[in-house]
Structure 1
Amino acid sequence: MGSGALEGRAVIVTGGGTGIGRATALGFAAEGARVLVVGRTEARLKEVAAEGPGIEVHVADVAEDGAAAGVMKAAVEAFGRVDVLVNNAAIIRPAQLGAIDRDAAERQFDTNLLGPLFLAQEALPHLERTGGAIVNITSMPAGRGWPNNTVYGAGKVALDFMTHTWAVELAPRGIRVVSVAPGATRTPVLEHAGLSPEQVQAVGEELVQHIPLARIAEPEEVAWWIVAAARPEAGYVTGSVIRVDGGIGIA
């Protein structure tokens, strides 16, 4: 892009240290936006900030009580406004029914579902002032089973439901809400879940067999749509789920 269409806008990107979050932060920065990257690992966030202009760092775990208020305070102190909230932070802990650990399940819901919920709630007054947007990063559609991913998939489907509901609730306040739903993307999320490089490769090879475009997405390909959804030209889009999945959702 690089058109400067988002010059002066203030953007929050959670999970901004790696993968889709990192690519998204750099994409917004290239458009002239000021960006607060949020994540748990300061070193990774600082690496992202060093790569793009106008990127600030805030270390936080969105699953923790009080994190949302801290994120919003940091953004307002840094930029004086909030125009876009990108709820990207997520964790995955694959397990079949019968082997699902309660702590791991609660951690996924706290990060992937409650984190976005309370961040959006804290952002509301700021987004209302700027006529802003929330972009939720979700995943597979509700009508498909996803073995080994009961908890992760249920949380992402619920986040799409939140997108639909918030879009209706917040339209009178001038706030748009959109989901961007990636398919298989080249990110370290499975490595962070404890899978070995060999296991990650095997998962990718199995997935590719079901993707019509027959490849894994690059983070920048997903980030392009996230940034596009926040641009002024997208001002008539709300409540939509934009699927960037190589066709796997319909195959």
Structure 2
Amino acid sequence: MRSELVAVVTGAKSGLGRATTELLLERGARVAGWDVSSEGLRWLSERENTLTAAVDVADPTQVAAAAAEVRSAWGRVDFLVNSAGVLLVGALADVEAAEVRRLFDINVTGTTLVTQALLPDLIAARGAVVNLSSTVALKPSLSNAHYAASKAAVAQLTRCWALELAPHGVRVNAVAPGPTNTPLFAAAGMDVAVKETFLAERASTNPLGRTGEPVEVARWITRFIDDEWVTGHVIPVDGGMSIS
């Protein structure tokens, strides 16, 4: 893959998306950061070699417009990171249909729409896609079954797309983070105390005895830029949670 890398990162406002974007910029890449919050992308718009767009990944019109902007500005896309996602925590008896629909709209349909929109560019570049799954897609846990199901869908899309796109030289992999200290929990409605309790409980059963930091996941995401002999894998980056 070219050293003059052009990347698109969804969910670039914060958390894993922002950490990945930072590493890509350090590498010298040109990065288009997309997020539903234009205000949250101000940090990126002030950097060189960047584009920003307010995009709801579940809206095909917004996705198509943002993809066209990248294409017009830079003429190529080598690397796509589907980091945009939402968390839903709740027992089966408590979750509401609208919450479940929105969860799948963003985590599954959104991942699909963004990859579709950029597919001609990725094929032309023989590029790479990294999706964000989750350790809970690989190992059942209490209280977030629908989130786990949405991320299991992302994991299987990753494997299937890897087979489908291999003849075009496009690699598709996923990273499955364990409990990581990101704003995802606050966005799901957790206050600080609930979030800290939630992460502490996860850390207490994790073999490495702690939760992760966004940059630790981002390093694995960017690794797939250069690992050109790897496709169709879902890599746990979870401190051992998936084997405990």
- Residue 163 of structure 1 is matched in structure 2 by 158
Report deviation, 1:64.
Answer: 1.9
Identity across matched positions, percent: 36
- Residue 102 of structure 1 is matched in structure 2 by 97
C-alpha distance after superposition, 1:114-144 (max 9, x if no partner)? 0011111121111111010110011025452
- Residue 246 of structure 1 is matched in structure 2 by 239
Q: Which runs of 5+ in 1 are unaligned?
A: none
- Residue 64 of structure 1 is matched in structure 2 by 59
- Residue 182 of structure 1 is matched in structure 2 by 177
Matches for 1:22-171 after TM superposition, within 5 Å: 22-50=18-46, 52-140=47-135, 142-171=137-166
Query: Quick check: 2:138–2:152 contact (8 Å CA) kept in 1?
Result: no
- Counterparts of 2:204 and 2:146, CA distance in 1: 24
Tell me which moved more, 77-86 or 16-25.
77-86
Query: Quick check: 2:136–2:178 contact (8 Å CA) kept in 1?
Result: no
- Counterparts of 1:217 and 1:53, CA distance in 2: 29
Name the SS for the 1:17 alignment partner.
coil
- Counterparts of 2:65 and 2:199, CA distance in 1: 36
C-alpha distance after superposition, 1:96-118 (max 9, x if no partner)? 10111111100000000000111
C-alpha distance after superposition, 1:127-165 (max 9, x if no partner)? 111010110011025452221112111010111101110
Query: Quick check: 2:32–2:51 contact (8 Å CA) kept in 1?
Result: yes
Q: What RMSD, in angstroms, separates the aligned Cα atoms of the two structures?
A: 1.4
Q: Which amino acid aligns with 1:205?
A: A
For normalisation by structure 1, the TM-score amounts to: 0.93
- Counterparts of 1:145 and 1:171, CA distance in 2: 30
Report deviation, 1:216.
Answer: 1.2
Tell me which moved more, 68-77 or 105-114.
68-77
Q: Which runs of 5+ in 2 are unaligned?
A: none
Q: Which amino acid aligns with 2:58?
A: A
For normalisation by structure 2, the TM-score amounts to: 0.96
Query: Quick check: 2:58–2:113 contact (8 Å CA) kept in 1?
Result: no
Count of residue pairs the alignment pairs up: 244
- Counterparts of 1:103 and 1:54, CA distance in 2: 38
C-alpha distance after superposition, 1:214-251 (max 9, x if no partner)? 111111111111111122xx000000111110000000
Report deviation, 1:6.
Answer: 5.9
Report deviation, 1:67.
Answer: 2.7
Report deviation, 1:60.
Answer: 0.8
Name the SS for the 1:62 alignment partner.
coil
Report deviation, 1:77.
Answer: 1.9
Query: Quick check: 1:140–1:157 contact (8 Å CA) kept in 2?
Result: no
